[in-house]
Structure 1
């Protein structure tokens, strides 16, 4: 996590806390979700989120950047969406014009359709991950070349 410096907290959820962070080398702002590793194991749903998220490439889906394992946490580094969440906009404005609603609905459907298509493709292809969720090599999480002889 030395690569990133905290700017501010963005929010928290059932699985962890999300922070806005800045890459010290590039200045790029990213969102980093940190999830506690109970008993130093990675929760199955967090592992699934990483495996699925890293394979998605779509303009309407937040881009996965990398996963970082520390002794106590799993950090998922993602593209930062400076506009915030659509849900918060809906709550704040209470209503959209018909054109705004149509635009957001089309964007949502486009993203969901892509996820549905990718889901059917991901479930039909052979799995290539090496390791169990609690002890998976960081190279695998970051889609880097992995040499089992080194471990």
Structure 2
């Protein structure tokens, strides 16, 4: 990890911390996810994370952590932008919706969202629909 210097912490997930780091040699900004090594559950999650980060440039294994170096996306979270603006114009909403649908389409095309067991719920808890967390079927009438 001597190649990188920490700029700031940019996120905290279920299994580790993500930090904005600068490559000391090139000045390039990258995101580095660090996952503590140890129990079997975390190791399985770390393995899945590496598989999901196909654009990962480097995986660094230390005695205590696995560090995954990935591209830094500087735009921040869409959720934060929605909260800050409170309202989008039609053009802004169209732009973000188009970006989201292209992203989902790309993931499907690359088979990175393929699940062999549909009963498995996958996602970030803050963004998962309540009926998914409660293992209930979606009922459009309720909405």
Q: Same fold (TM over 0.5)?
A: yes
Distance change in 2, residues 1:102/1:91 (3 Å) = same
Q: CA RMSD in A?
A: 13.7
Of structures 1 and 2, the one scoring higher in RCO (CA 8 A, sep 6+) is: 1
C-alpha displacement of 1:45: 2.3
Q: Quote the Cα distance in structure 2 between the aligned partners of 1:5 and 1:131.
A: 30
Q: Report how many residues are paired.
A: 140
Residues 138 and 9 of structure 1: CA distance in aligned 2, closer, same or farther (over 3 Å): farther
Contact 1:41–1:134, Cα closer than 8 Å, also in 2: no
- C-alpha displacement at 1:114, in angstroms? 0.8
* Alignment TM-score, normalising by the size of structure 2: 0.70
- Is 1:142 aligned to 2:134, yes or no? yes
SS of residue matched to 1:145: coil
Does the 8 Å CA contact 2:15/2:42 hold for their aligned counterparts? no
TM-score by length of 1: 0.67
How many angstroms does 1:93 deviate by?
A: 1.3
Is there any run of 5+ residues in structure 2 with no aligned partner, and where?
Answer: none
Please list, as runs of the form range in 1=range in 2, the aligned pairs for 1:30-69 lying within 5 A after superposition: 30-39=30-39, 43-54=43-54, 67-69=59-61
Mean CA deviation greater in 39-48 or 105-114: 39-48
Gapped regions of structure 1 (runs ≥ 5) = 56-66
Q: After the TM superposition, which parts of structure 1 deviate over 4 Å for at least 4 consecutive aligned residues?
A: 39-42, 120-151
Q: Residues of 1 paired with 2:85 and 2:113: CA distance?
A: 38
